[in-house]
Structure 1
Amino acid sequence: GINPAEIGAAYIGSESHPYAVKPSGTVLAEALGATPECHTADLEFACKAGTECMFIALSLVEAGRIKYGLGVGADTSQGAPGDALEYSAAAGAAAFIFGKENCVAVSEETYAYMTDMPDFWRREYQYYPQHGGRFTGEPAYFTHITAAARGIMKKSGTSPEDFAYVIFHQPNGKFPFKVGQILGFNKAQIEPGWLVNKLGNTYSGSSPLGLTSTLDIAKPGDRILLVSYGSGAGSDAFIWKVTDRIDEVRDLAPKTRDILDTNKKYLEYGEYAKFRHKILKAE
């Protein structure tokens, strides 16, 4: 374990922060015992807000500015009734602590790619997001993920064959496999981190949760490529190399897929709509 007071930064990425004006990061840092000497911030970048937090926390640790940094991707994804997002939207979160000691995986390279792309948005005071339908595919998701993946592989001198696993953002069940095929990855490299068929799209938690599932089975020496995607639009890419430490800590916490399999509870649509406040009592 680590001393919570040594967590010098705590960042939460989400597009469903509970407050418009009141940070979520302070709540988390206080609960962990990391306050008061802790830099906190709430980040937004659609579905890549979680990897934004990871990118920044990792960079601060590498720069020697802090001893430990916490990066979280969390969302209760919104989808309007009857919209294509509704049946795929989910709720979930993943958190990572970055440091220089006792690491289960080390960062070998990072890369970011972004453009101004109006594929998905939600204006102030709107409850549900809007999207450009098929426009969200080729010019948005596929363009940015392929560019980020190719960019980091060129920067690091690697190729798809150098990776044991790869995780892509998972807005639906098809896109990760299609983009993997475009880039030259096979099904066996993608499936361990592919959770959307069990969980749905957790937005900011999507690719970070895929990394947790992959680390559950990864072996020392394995390389993992992680490429997120956030509408607006951009992708963060990371290359991780798993260390011997993974075997020491792997069984200290429940595994991601075990949680999904054992804690599953099905709801009727009416119950779901009520709990998500889609059905409200008239005043």
Structure 2
Amino acid sequence: MVGIVGYGAYVPSYRIKVEEIAKVWGDDPVALSNGLVVNEKSVPSADEDTATIAVTAARYALARAQIDPKKIGAVYVGSESHPYAVKPTATIVAEAVCATPDLTAADLEFACKAGTAGIQMSMGLVESDMIEYGLAIGADTSQGAPGDALEYTASAGGAAYIIGKKDVLAEITTTCSFTTDTPDFYRREGEDYPSHGGRFTGEPAYFKHVLSAAKNLFEKTDSQASDYDYACFHQPNGKFYLRAAKKLGFTPEQYSRGLLTPNIGNTYSGAVPLGLSNILDVAEPGDKIFVVSYGSGAGSDGFTLEVTDEILKKRDLAPKTEEIISNKTYVDYAVYAKFKGKIKM
């Protein structure tokens, strides 16, 4: 049995409402909220970045896992906003959690699915007995150019997962992926903000990959939507998430728990990891979970999980996702622009 031994989430406490951003650019806040299904988003403070988010989430994951950090044999941090262009975030995390130097570590980048790619890599190393535990993190302080549609959703946050074979709280029963060269979103080296293909990001990008990975997962497991208690998908906005869930046959009772974007925005590499952590905070032993991530460029990773009795022993050992999200302070556009470095000297 290979699966999740511990998990942890973190979202910065600062928030900015969609209407505050719309006020600056003269947009209709009601139309934006309804169209994107986003009401507000998280904002990293001046001293928060992908590394600090990843470290906090990793420490919470360790608190739940109750393992010696020196038994971690791999650390992967997936993000598209690593604080250094040349200097790994993964080594910062490994040092901060007191992991052994006898490990492999790497930063991963595949738009918003780099965190789930790290989970798959950790699974392979654990299953082959090359390592005892792997730490996979998806975290971002995502970028959106002033006045661009992305500015209403691009936010900050992340979650960490310790993968192992002992005392597993959720077994990862199956994983598969679907990947093509679809350039719907990109940012060249040295550029501050990404470019995107507008409606092209929906079709043939997001929906083709999420739905294809999901259908592959159904076929591989000989299952259907009704066989699962919970479902979670990548959420660049609430609209895409809801459309994908409904197309695949999931009900609001199944998919609502994993949808966090309306209240924290799109955390990019942290989106699916955070949605899953919110599900694990309430899931019961025997519950089955269906998860599909998405990363522009483009690809999706799919997972099926089954919760075990260990969840009852571990989930109260660290702050829960909703508890973290509920701790918030609102800022205006000026403070937001300052924290996000949008004001150039």
TM-score normalised to the size of structure 2?
A: 0.80
Shift in Å, 1:75:
0.3
Is 1:278 the counterpart of 2:331? The answer is no
| 2:78 alignment partner AA | G
Gaps of 5+ in 1: none
Shift in Å, 1:254:
1.4
| 1:166 alignment partner AA | A
| 2:330 alignment partner AA | Y
**Counterpart residue number, 1:81:** 146
Residue 321 of structure 2: which of 230, 243, 256 is its match?
256
Matching of residues 94-243 of structure 1 within 5 Å: 94-243=159-308
SS at match of 1:174: helix
| Percent identical | 57
Q: Tell me if structure 2 keeps the 8 A contact 1:11–1:42.
A: yes
Shift in Å, 1:248:
1.2
RMSD between superposed Cα atoms in Å:
0.7
Mapped to 2, the partners of 1:123 and 1:202 lie a distance apart of 20
Aligned length: 280
Residue 34 of structure 1: which of 86, 91, 99 is its match?
99
Runs of 4+ in 1 over 2 A off after TM superposition: none
Shift in Å, 1:58:
1.4
| 1:245 alignment partner AA | E
Mapped to 2, the partners of 1:5 and 1:252 lie a distance apart of 20
Shift in Å, 1:35:
2.9
Mapped to 2, the partners of 1:260 and 1:17 lie a distance apart of 22
SS at match of 2:200: helix
Shift in Å, 1:91:
0.4
**Counterpart residue number, 1:267:** 331
Is 1:24 the counterpart of 2:76? The answer is no
Mapped to 1, the partners of 2:324 and 2:140 lie a distance apart of 18
Mapped to 1, the partners of 2:324 and 2:69 lie a distance apart of 25
Mapped to 1, the partners of 2:131 and 2:277 lie a distance apart of 23
Is 1:52 the counterpart of 2:113? The answer is no
Larger RCO: 1 or 2 (CA < 8 Å, sep 6+)? 2
| 1:137 alignment partner AA | G
SS at match of 1:86: helix
Q: Tell me if structure 2 keeps the 8 A contact 1:118–1:231.
A: yes
Q: Tell me if structure 1 keeps the 8 A contact 2:172–2:303.
A: yes
Mapped to 1, the partners of 2:68 and 2:309 lie a distance apart of 22
Mapped to 1, the partners of 2:71 and 2:174 lie a distance apart of 25
Q: Tell me if structure 1 keeps the 8 A contact 2:71–2:100.
A: no
CA offsets 1:130-176 (integer angstroms, 9 cap, x no match): 00000000200000000000101100111101110000000001111
Q: Tell me if structure 2 keeps the 8 A contact 1:73–1:208.
A: yes
Q: Tell me if structure 2 keeps the 8 A contact 1:274–1:280.
A: no
Q: Tell me if structure 1 keeps the 8 A contact 2:235–2:259.
A: yes
| 2:234 alignment partner AA | H
Mapped to 2, the partners of 1:28 and 1:81 lie a distance apart of 31
CA offsets 1:220-278 (integer angstroms, 9 cap, x no match): 001101100000000000111000111111212111012111x1110001110011110
SS at match of 2:250: coil
TM-score normalised to the size of structure 1?
A: 0.98
Gaps of 5+ in 2: 1-65
| 1:222 alignment partner AA | D
CA offsets 1:76-123 (integer angstroms, 9 cap, x no match): 000000000001111001000011011110011000100000100000
